[in-house]
């Protein structure tokens, strides 16, 4: 296995590489589409820290994503805050939402957490609906500052931001995975009583996972305000985000970081093509079908299939 | 009298069902204590109260002079209270070695290679060293029982509770586990053995407590308990079919 400093160096190199992409790829459409793929890599990676490693299913990824998008839009509208501040603000709101949801429900039983995450989407969407300052149901026009000249355009700029977020999320996920935290989360997933009786402070670790997972998913929403220069409740809290967040790790494999990345790459790419060629309603149907197929036929995801073959041979 | 763990007037109900108590139990350092009783008599419930999986409705639990009644399970585990589970609960998705590293992460000893050497030592002592790098879901029933014990042991406990660690095993396998528990006890660990396999508990225990519908109906040396008419009535009567 690659050592952590080397892994971080490779990840940094990927991000720096993205800086030069606008020089070689002239068509901004690719950045527009690539942004969405990367966005889902971040969401899926963040989701997997709680949903995969610890085994707590979050149906409300769109609550976190939407909260992040609206936080960024709010910071832009109110203070004209720069991207970094938007990201930090979104991360904070995600951490707060994650810990609050976890604290209220995780002390009872797993199922209540899942229900609470569904409720969270409804609560936040309703809240935004009724907040005039955030544009209510009609949505909010966002006036993002012009991107740094280097990037040549907004799509190239937000793509780069999302690329940095992606490699950062992957580095965090991998660090958790190889550390004692990941080990404890896997123990929780396998058996909470056995973990607790082995000295694992299970509640504290679940809350930590909620915080990190929520923070990452909300940060994935922050650049959306700039990306689409418009946020509205329906797209910010959309079912697609919530469904993709759990479908992508399940398709790729939930046990380690390449799973969500691979799942997002496959599913989001297919969706990008399908949105252009067929329709976006078709997306949700397709995701649903693929998801059911995987749950039934390959519950350990694509990477699980490979591991299985290795074990059998 | 020197007492390591003291249970005083502990009670536990589930809804309308009084599963346990009130019971008083003392566990002495380095003791071998047998806990018997028919199915549903509250043995596992008592252990769950002691190890902190759920709080008792009433009563006090003192370990090494400290009131741990309201402490969470993980803190009790770190104080030296270990257990195995009646139905093995391996950390699936991890290798056998990794299963042992989970408790070791919280021993505050640090040092990766030292930890692994210690885990290997424990795996060797329970006879699982050959399975070290196998996924825990690949283990046999006997191996799962051993893994349960190994995971409890690696934390270097002062009290180990083995909840039916021999259920479903063959005679040879029972001897295997029994000698392991004897060796462990010789190294200074107090062992509480919950068991239905009478000859094993009788051989192992210095003292036996018999529970019935949540109450202690007999306590004493193995022969005293075996001769107790109440025990014979509720326990051996039921166990004849074994
Ligand atoms: N978590 C629980 N919820 C509800 N009832 C329980 C629970 N655990 C045990 N009981 C009940 O408490 C009683 C004692 O069970 P238990 O302690 O498991 O007995 P034993 O280990 O001696 O077989 C039984 O009637 C059982 O059904
Ligand atoms: Mg039991």
Secondary structure of A106-142 in HEC code, one letter for each residue: CCCCHHHHHHHHHHHHHHHHHHHHCCHHHCHHHCEEC
Q: How far apart are CA B92 and CA B95, in angstroms?
A: 8
Residues B183 and B177: their CA atoms lie apart, in Å, by: 10
The radius of gyration of chain A from alpha carbons, rounded to an integer in Å, stands at 19
**The predicted structure's pLDDT at residue B51:** 95
Whole-angstrom distance between the N-terminal and C-terminal Cα of chain A?
21
Give residue limits of the domains in chain A. 30-240
Model pTM score: 0.92
Q: Is A311 on the interface with B (CB under 8 A)?
A: yes
With an 8 Å Cβ cutoff, is A300 touching chain B? no
Which ligand has its closest atom nearest to the C-alpha of B20?
1
Distance, in Å, from the CA atom of B201 to the CA atom of B144, rounded to the nearest integer, reads 20
Q: Token pair of A15, please?
A: 């991000």
* Average pLDDT value over all residues in chain B: 90
Q: Helix, strand, coil proportions of chain A in percent (round to 5)?
A: 80, 0, 15
**Please, which residues bridge with residue B74 across strands?**
none
Closest by CA position to A131, among listed A74, A196, A53, A62:
A74
Asked if the Cβ–Cβ distance from A193 to B89 is below 8 Å, we say yes
Identify which of A117, A99, A129 has the alpha carbon closest to the alpha carbon of residue A243. A117
B146-173 burial, b if ≥16 CB within 10 A, otherwise e? bbbbbbbbbbbbbbbbbbbbbeebeeeb
User: How far apart, in whole angstroms, are the C-alpha atoms of residue A27 and residue A168?
Assistant: 26
> Quick one: pLDDT band at residue A313, thresholds 50, 70, 90?
very low
In 3D space, the residue among A118, A125, A93, A126 whose CA is nearest the CA of residue A246 turns out to be: A118
> Would the pLDDT of B239 be above 70?
no
What is the average pLDDT across A155-168?
A: 95
* DSSP H helical ranges for chain B: 43-51, 73-79, 96-104, 112-126, 141-153, 171-186, 198-204, 222-227, 229-231, 237-239
pLDDT at B226: 87
Alpha-carbon separation of residue B67 from A5, B55, B56, B62 (angstroms) = 45, 13, 13, 4
Q: How does pLDDT run across A221-275, given as a tens digit for each residue?
A: 999 999 999 999 999 999 889 999 999 999 999 999 999 999 999 999 888 887 7
Mean pLDDT of the region B107-111? 62
pLDDT in tens, A290-309: 888 877 777 788 887 766 55
pLDDT tens for each residue of A46-96: 999 999 999 999 999 999 999 999 999 999 999 999 999 999 999 999 999
B210 alpha carbon – ligand 2 mean position (Å): 13
How many CB atoms lie under 10 A from the CB of residue A227? 25
Instruction: Measure B120 CA to nearest chain A CA, in Å.
Output: 17
Cβ contact, residue pair B90, A196, below 8 Å: no
Q: From CA B82, how far away is CA B131, in angstroms rounded?
A: 22
The Cα B181–Cα B200 span in angstroms is 11
> CA of A67: how far to CAs of A217, A236, A285, in Å?
9, 8, 25
Predicted confidence (pLDDT) per residue in B39-76, tens digit: 999 999 999 999 999 889 999 999 999 999 999 999 99
Please report, for residues A60, B84, B158, B171, B183, the alpha-carbon distance to residue B189 in angstroms, rounded to integers and kept in the order given: 47, 14, 5, 24, 9
What are the structure tokens assigned to A279, written together?
């329709």
- Separation between Cα atoms, residue B103 and residue B109, nearest integer Å: 11
Q: Take residue A31 and report the two structure tokens written for it.
A: 């950045």
Q: What angle (nearest 5°) sits at the alpha carbon of residue B161, between those of residues B166 and B210?
A: 80
Architecture, CATH, for domain B5-240: 3-Layer(aba) Sandwich (3.40)
Alpha-carbon gap, residue B67 to A201, rounded angstroms: 19
pLDDT band at B112 (very low <50, low <70, confident <90, very high): confident
What are the CA-CA distances from residue A253 to residues A52, A250, B93, B224 (Å)?
A: 8, 5, 12, 57
- Span B5-43, pLDDT tens digits: 999 999 999 998 999 979 999 999 999 999 999 999 999
Nearest to A221 by CA among A278, A167, A158, A312: A158
CA pair distance B99, A183, nearest whole angstrom: 9
Residue A137 to residue A233: CA distance in whole angstroms: 6
Q: Confirm or reject: Cβ of B42 under 6 Å from ligand 1.
A: yes
* Confidence category of residue A149, pLDDT binned at 50, 70, 90: confident
In CATH, the architecture of A30-240 is Orthogonal Bundle (1.10)
Is B90:A193 a contact under the CB 8 Å cutoff? Answer: no
Distance (Å, whole) CA B52 – CA B68: 9
Reduced 3-state DSSP string for B176-222:
HHHHHHHHHHHCCCEEEEECCCHHHHHHHCCEEEEEECCEEEEEECH
Tell me whether residues A199 and B106 touch, CB distance under 8 A. Answer: yes
Tell whether ligand 1 has an atom less than 6 A from the beta carbon of residue B38.
Answer: no
Residue to substitute in B23, B40, B215 for testing ligand 1 pocket (most ligand atoms within 8 angstroms of CB)? B40
CB contact under 8 A, A200 and B102: yes
- Please name the residues in contact with A142: beta carbons below 8 A apart, sequence gap of 6 or more: A73, A76, A77, A225, A226, A228, A229, A230, A231
pLDDT digits 0-9 by tens, A3-39:
888 889 888 888 888 888 888 888 888 999 999 999 9
Per-residue pLDDT tens for A210-234? Answer: 999 999 999 999 999 999 999 999 9
Q: Where are the beta strands (DSSP E) in A202-247?
A: 230-231
Confirm or reject contact between A255 and chain B (CB < 8 A): yes
| Bridge partners for B84 per DSSP | B162
């Amino acid at each position: 296995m690659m050592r952590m400093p080397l892994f971080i160096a490779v990840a940094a190199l990927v991000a720096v590489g993205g800086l030069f992409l606008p020089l070689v790829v002239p068509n901004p459409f690719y950045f527009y589409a690539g942004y969405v793929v990367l966005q889902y890599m971040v969401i899926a990676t963040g989701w997997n820290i709680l949903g995969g490693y610890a085994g707590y299913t979050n149906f409300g990824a769109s609550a976190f994503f939407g909260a992040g998008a609206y936080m960024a839009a709010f910071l832009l509208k109110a203070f004209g805050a720069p991207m970094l501040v938007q990201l930090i603000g979104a991360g904070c709101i995600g951490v707060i939402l994650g810990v609050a949801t976890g604290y209220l429900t995780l002390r009872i039983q797993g199922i209540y957490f899942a229900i609470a995450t569904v409720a969270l989407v409804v609560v936040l969407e309703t809240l935004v609906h009724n907040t005039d300052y955030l544009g209510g149901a009609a949505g909010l026009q966002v006036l993002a500052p012009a991107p740094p000249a280097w990037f040549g355009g907004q799509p190239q700029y937000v793509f780069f931001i999302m690329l940095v977020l992606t490699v950062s999320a992957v580095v965090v996920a991998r660090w958790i995975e190889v550390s004692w935290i990941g080990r404890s989360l896997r123990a929780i997933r396998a058996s909470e009583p056995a973990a607790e009786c082995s000295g694992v402070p299970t509640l504290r670790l679940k809350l930590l996972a909620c915080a990190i997972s929520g923070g990452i998913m909300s940060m994935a929403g922050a650049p959306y305000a700039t990306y689409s220069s418009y946020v509205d409740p329906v797209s910010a809290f959309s079912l697609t985000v919530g469904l993709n967040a759990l479908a992508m790790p399940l398709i790729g494999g939930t046990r380690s970081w390449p799973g969500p990345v691979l799942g997002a790459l496959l599913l989001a790419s297919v969706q990008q093509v399908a949105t252009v060629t067929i329709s976006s309603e078709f997306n949700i149907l397709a995701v649903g079908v693929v998801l059911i197929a995987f749950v039934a036929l390959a519950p350990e995801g694509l990477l699980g299939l490979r591991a299985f073959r290795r074990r059998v041979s | 009298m020197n007492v390591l763990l003291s249970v005083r007037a502990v009670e536990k109900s589930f809804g309308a069902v009084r599963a346990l108590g009130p019971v008083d139990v003392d566990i002495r350092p380095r003791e071998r204590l047998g806990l018997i009783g028919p199915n549903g008599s509250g043995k596992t419930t008592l252990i769950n109260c002691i190890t902190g999986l759920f709080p008792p409705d009433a009563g006090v639990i003192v370990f090494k002079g400290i009131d741990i009644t309201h402490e969470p399970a993980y803190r009790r585990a770190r104080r030296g209270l270990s257990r195995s589970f009646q139905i093995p609960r391996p950390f699936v998705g991890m290798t056998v070695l990794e299963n042992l590293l989970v408790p070791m992460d919280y021993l505050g000893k640090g040092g990766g290679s030292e930890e692994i050497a210690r885990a290997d030592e424990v795996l060797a002592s329970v006879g699982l060293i050959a399975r070290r790098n196998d996924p825990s879901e690949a283990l046999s029933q006997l191996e799962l029982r051993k893994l349960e014990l190994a995971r409890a042991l690696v934390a270097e406990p002062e009290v180990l509770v083995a909840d039916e660690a021999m259920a479903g095993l063959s005679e040879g396998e029972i001897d295997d586990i029994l000698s392991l528990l004897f060796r462990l006890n010789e190294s200074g660990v107090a062992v509480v053995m919950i068991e239905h396999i009478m000859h094993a508990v009788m051989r192992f225990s210095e003292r036996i407590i018999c529970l019935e519908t949540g109450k202690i109906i007999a306590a004493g040396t193995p022969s005293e308990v075996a001769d107790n008419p109440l025990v014979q009535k509720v326990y051996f009567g039921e166990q004849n079919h074994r």
